[in-house]
Chains A and B, each alone.
Chain A
Amino acid sequence: DAGVIQSPRHEVTEMGQEVTLRCKPISGHNSLFWYRQTMMRGLELLIYFNNNVPIDDSGMPEDRFSAKMPNASFSTLKIQPSEPRDSAVYFCASSLPGVNTGELFFGEGSRLTVL
């Protein structure tokens, strides 16, 4: 079975540019999470979708960040305009239906570097 698929794996861009990160969750998983990981702040939850609906976006840093899940098999995280402090590894993860059951399955991450 394919796991969570993220693209791109690496992205280097210049400050001010738009960045779009993509995620395909595991088929049948109805919960999708976007996390950001940095040395300074560790693993931070950015946003969480359940059945394609954003449930908690309190972790989204500011208006420059937006996330969408147009269908059960695709999600995007967009940063516009990007800033050097956005440099991090961004993980997408999905889990099975059920409020408390199921572990998170993580993608391999998208490493973003903003110059």
Chain B
Amino acid sequence: AQKVTQAQTEISVVEKEDVTLDCVYETRDTTYYLFWYKQPPSGELVFLIRRNSFDEQNEISGRYSWNFQKSTSSFNFTITASQVVDSAVYFCALREMGQFYFGTGTSLTVIP
């Protein structure tokens, strides 16, 4: 069974639109970490955020915000007022027992 599910394979939005990338995870551990990574067309994997299982506060960083809900096992990522530079593949990941589990990624295209 997939531990991290990113049901949206590809999303296209027009610049300045808001977009939410969904992430659903599965774990039996009470202590775990969730992450989002960005992979722009240049190919590197860039860390965006880490959230531990005991902190359900939403987080905002500029145009980026994250909504962590343990009740639904979701850790969604919203980009407000999207820009062309946001075009990338975004990966959600779960860390439990030392291992990392990545979702299959959501490819976001922001159309100018």
Contacts and interface: CB of A to CB of B under 8 A. Distances in A.
Interface of A: 31, 33, 42-43, 45, 48, 50, 55-56, 89, 91, 93, 99-106, 108-109, 111
- B interface: dominant SS: strand
A31 B96 CA distance: 14
Contacts, number: 55
20 contacts: A33-B100, A50-B98, A89-B43, A93-B45, A100-B29, A100-B33, A100-B96, A101-B33, A102-B95, A103-B33, A103-B47, A104-B35, A104-B93, A104-B100, A105-B47, A106-B37, A106-B45, A106-B47, A109-B43, A111-B43
B104 A42 contact: yes
Interface bracket on B:
20 to 34
Interface in B16-69: 29, 31-33, 35, 37, 43-45, 47, 50, 52
A55 B99 CA distance: 10
Interface of B: 29, 31-33, 35, 37, 43-45, 47, 50, 52, 91, 93, 95-100, 102, 104-105
- A interface: dominant SS: strand
Nearest to A55: B98
